[in-house]
Amino acid sequence: MAEPLFSFGIIADVQYADIDDAMNYTRTRKRFYRGSAELLRNAARHWRQERVQFVVQLGDVIDGQNRWRGASESALEAVLREFDAIPAPVHHVWGNHEFYNFNRETLIASRLNSAPRNASGSDLIDKDIYAYAFSPAPGFRFVLLDAFDLSVIGRAKESEKHQRALRTLRENNHNLHDFNQPPVCAGLGQRFVQFNGGFSEEQIQWLEEQLTQADLSQERVVVFSHLPVLPGAADSICLAWNHDAVLSVLRSHRCFVCFMAGHDHDGGRSRDSEGSAVDHVTLEGVIETAPHSDAFATVQVFEEHMELKGRGRVEDLIISCPPLS
Ligand SMILES: Nc1ncnc2c1ncn2[C@@H]1O[C@H](COP(=O)(O)OP(=O)(O)O)[C@@H](O)[C@H]1O
């Protein structure tokens, strides 16, 4: 049997807090706030044994409730200790709960900024857009996106991007007193809530350039974001506001293999048949996973496909790589 070229771990929505278990907002699922650290520890142990090359943490690593308890720093320390037990780099995506706990400047200066450093500082596409690309192996380019680049929670009140985000919510959500409440409508319109966000034109342009370069150099690309972009791969309430702009970039490049996101704790899988049938994976969230189970995966990468090996409530998936030419 062929050996994988390399392998990496993925985990989403740990949302750790040192508080008692409770129901989610809509009272449909239980959240295991302390147990989530234990499940992260299980994942770390597993990845250590498997000797993965790196891990991608898909956002919401600590819960927003740490903020009002004054526990943001200690909760972050607790989860980073678990990640430190993995002898491999960890790439951190930022979700809405990162912004409930910290502002953008604090996050940029924190250990949750995993962008590689270059001679002039960091490889971020812009000093305050948390998106970057890295090459895990020759022929592969992995891209992390900032889904709160355009958002109310991820941008300072006085900034132009915050104001634009507010206008987007006012135009699309009639709940002016509470934009966390989804608009009463069917389908995709429900995504215009304050706990979501979107991607600026600069970021989408940068993504386009990354994929164009990857096409030219015959690399394969995997894209990560906290917010999903393909309807069907997640509940409509969980999609990025301008998910369609990202989709149209992804669909126009043959280098694109797979999109991985978190945010929707129920998880989801969908094959984008409008592209060249690439997979969109929304990973099941640790926070709503019972303590006796697990929610993480290891992805083994081969020349022509990737094998996602799920643990606990994450099911296995074979992801095929579209032909390069
Ligand atoms: N249907 C809703 N109506 C009003 N507020 C909501 C609704 N769903 C979530 N919220 C609020 O939005 C914020 C984010 O929700 P939460 O469930 O914590 O997000 P996540 O799914 O990322 O964990 C919380 O402050 C929560 O109380």
pTM for the structure as a whole: 0.97
Spacing, Cα 195 to ligand 1 middle (Å)? 7
- CB-based contact 43:89 (threshold 8 Å): no
Mean pLDDT of 267-289: 92
Q: Count each helix (H run) and each strand (E run) in the chain, helices first.
A: 8, 14
pLDDT confidence tier of residue 182, bands split at 50, 70 and 90: very high
- Fill in the DSSP letter of residue 244: H
Alpha-carbon 176 to chain mean position: 28
Is it the case that residue 121 has pLDDT exceeding 70?
A: no
Mean pLDDT of 145-155: 98
Is it the case that residue 325 has pLDDT exceeding 80?
A: no
Sheet holding 220-224, edge to edge: 132-134, 140-144, 220-224, 256-261, 278-282, 268-272
The pLDDT value given to residue 151: 98
Regarding the beta carbon of 182 and ligand 1, being less than 6 Å apart is answered yes
Pocket test for ligand 1, best of 15, 23, 25 (most atoms within 8 A of CB): 25
Give the separation between CA 5 and CA 228, rounded to whole angstroms: 27
CA-proximal residue: ligand 1, atom 21 (nearest): 263
Instruction: Report the candidate in 285, 238, 296 with the shortest Cα–Cα distance to residue 30.
Output: 285
The tally of CA atoms less than 13 A away on the side-chain side of residue 1 is: 2
CA-proximal residue: ligand 1, atom 27 (nearest): 25
pLDDT in tens, 12-61: 999 999 999 999 999 999 999 999 999 999 999 999 999 999 999 999 99
Regarding the beta carbon of 130 and ligand 1, being less than 6 Å apart is answered no
Spacing, Cα 84 to ligand 1 middle (Å)? 30
Regarding the beta carbon of 98 and ligand 1, being less than 6 Å apart is answered no
Spacing, Cα 96 to ligand 1 middle (Å)? 10
CATH class of 6-320: alpha beta
Mean pLDDT of 132-161: 97
CA-proximal residue: ligand 1, atom 8 (nearest): 25
Is it the case that residue 276 has pLDDT exceeding 80?
A: no
Spacing, Cα 178 to ligand 1 middle (Å)? 11
Domain boundaries, the chain: 6-320
SS3 125: coil
Q: Where are the beta strands (DSSP E) in the chain?
A: 6-11, 22-23, 30-31, 54-57, 90-92, 132-134, 140-144, 220-224, 256-261, 268-272, 278-282, 295-301, 305-312, 317-320
Provide the angle, in degrees to the nearest 10, between the axes of the packed helices 72-84 and 35-50. Answer: 20
Q: Which atom of ligand 1 is nearest to the CA of 195?
A: 14
Q: Which atom of ligand 1 is nearest to the CA of 60?
A: 22
Which of 34-43, 82-91, 268-277, 312-321 bottoms out in mean pLDDT, i.e. has the lowest? Answer: 268-277
Residue written as tokens 């900034």?
159
- Fill in the DSSP letter of residue 288: G
pLDDT in tens, 184-243: 988 999 999 999 999 999 999 999 999 999 999 999 999 999 999 999 999 999 999 999
